[in-house]
Structure 1
């Protein structure tokens, strides 16, 4: 009986090993890093906010360093492309019919962690901590413009982002988050707080350079 049990276990064990060998190696873990070195990264970062019922665009440029394909950190510069309509009461000296809006610009330190990623796609959590200046702009009915002195603003902006590569050198990305102003009076804070969202075409210039230099096919799925 003991000998029969040994034979059965040997047959089953041999069959399991043969099946595992035939199946080949397990697919790579998509959470593993792709690069083993640091590299410089930069990005034109256009995003939008819904502020006081209006969609407002913000244009920015980010420059930083990527570590092992997993962590990115650096600085960004952002300029408000549109004025933010405000519900704050006008100063007493301004006439009725005056148009008012807020404008701001800021620099931000950012960190981004790639939660999950493959050569084809990735999901990351960009977070920014910024400091800048804002002012109110008033346009009177006769066309005269008046501006308030610039004041400091601070902000915290967590978000989630992802992209999918169509080819090695180009992809489509989208994401969203929230902008929270810090250390401001409640009225102005509520004017500038709000959700953010973005959709973009991403160019991977490093991979494009490698493809051109290596005379590889431009519209190929190789490497994805």
Structure 2
């Protein structure tokens, strides 16, 4: 009788361990790693400027958490800006930030994905001007907290590559009200991305199949 009880307990422990392992495997498989490059257009002083960005994130079901790195592709140049005692100068603006985003996927079909990401970032806004001898002189630096909400549509070109477009609004918190006024505006973007998690999953599957033969 005691031996029978031990066998039953051992079987139960084995079932629990196996179920726990299966659940853990399913949880791991539920996460998908996403890597994409953004080419964004936004507005500074009502002028359209280009942003470049890199975003890496993890998707589970309809929820995505991502970390993004963004910056102006080229300095925003104002050819003749009145700087008071410095006179009228060529004025240059640089803007870069890192953001943490949460996205809720509204549609997740085989070919299409529609989502609403909201993000908060931390970055800086650097300005400079050209001196009479042509050298660039630093003028000011402002720490920034960009807040952004957009809507995007992605299309799966292949199982591992997608393209997308999106647009929304960005509001920038800054100590300098002029920086807030200059950088807070609508934004739109297009992107190309790699579903890195899918690539890794398929490579690992092929390696396992190769070892099994």
Look up the match of 2:74.
Answer: 82
Tell me the residue number matched to 2:31.
38
Residue pair 1:52, 1:86 contacting (<8 A) in 2 also: no
CA distance in 2, matches of 1:51, 1:168: 36
Candidates 41, 49, 63, aligned match of 1:48: 41
SS in 1 for 2:181: helix
Alignment check: 8 A CA contact 2:94 2:126 kept: yes
Match of 2:85 in 1: 93
Distance 1:102 1:75 in 2: 24
For structure 2, the residue ranges without an aligned partner over 5 or more in a row are: 1-27, 207-213
| Counterpart Cα distance in 1 of 2:195 and 2:110 | 12
TM-score by length of structure 2 reads: 0.72
Please tell me whether the aligned partners of residues 53 and 71 of structure 2 are also in contact (alpha carbons under 8 angstroms). yes
Are the equivalent residues in 1 in contact too, given 2:146–2:171 (CA < 8 A)?
yes
Q: Aligned equivalents of 2:182 and 2:49: distance in 1? A: 12
Q: If you compute each CA radius of gyration, which structure gives the higher value, 1 or 2?
A: 1
Q: Distance in 2 between matches of 1:39 and 1:204?
A: 8
Aligned pair in 2 of structure 1 residues 38, 214: CA closer, same or farther (>3 Å)?
closer
Structure 1 or 2: larger strand share?
2
**Are 1:113 and 2:83 counterparts?**
no
User: 2:9 matched to which residue of 1?
Assistant: none
Give me the whole-angstrom Cα distance separating, in 2, the residues matched to 1:213 and 1:65.
18
Equivalent position of 2:51 in the other structure: 58
How many residues align structurally?
Answer: 179
What residue is the counterpart of 1:185 in the other structure? 176
- Which residue is 2:211 aligned to? none
Q: What's the counterpart of residue 125 of structure 2?
A: 134
Q: In the TM superposition, what are the counterparts of 1:202-213 in structure 2 within 5 Å?
A: 202-208=193-199
Deviations 1:115-134 (A, max 9, x none): 11112111100111011111
- Kept after mapping to 2: 8 A contact 1:102/1:136: yes
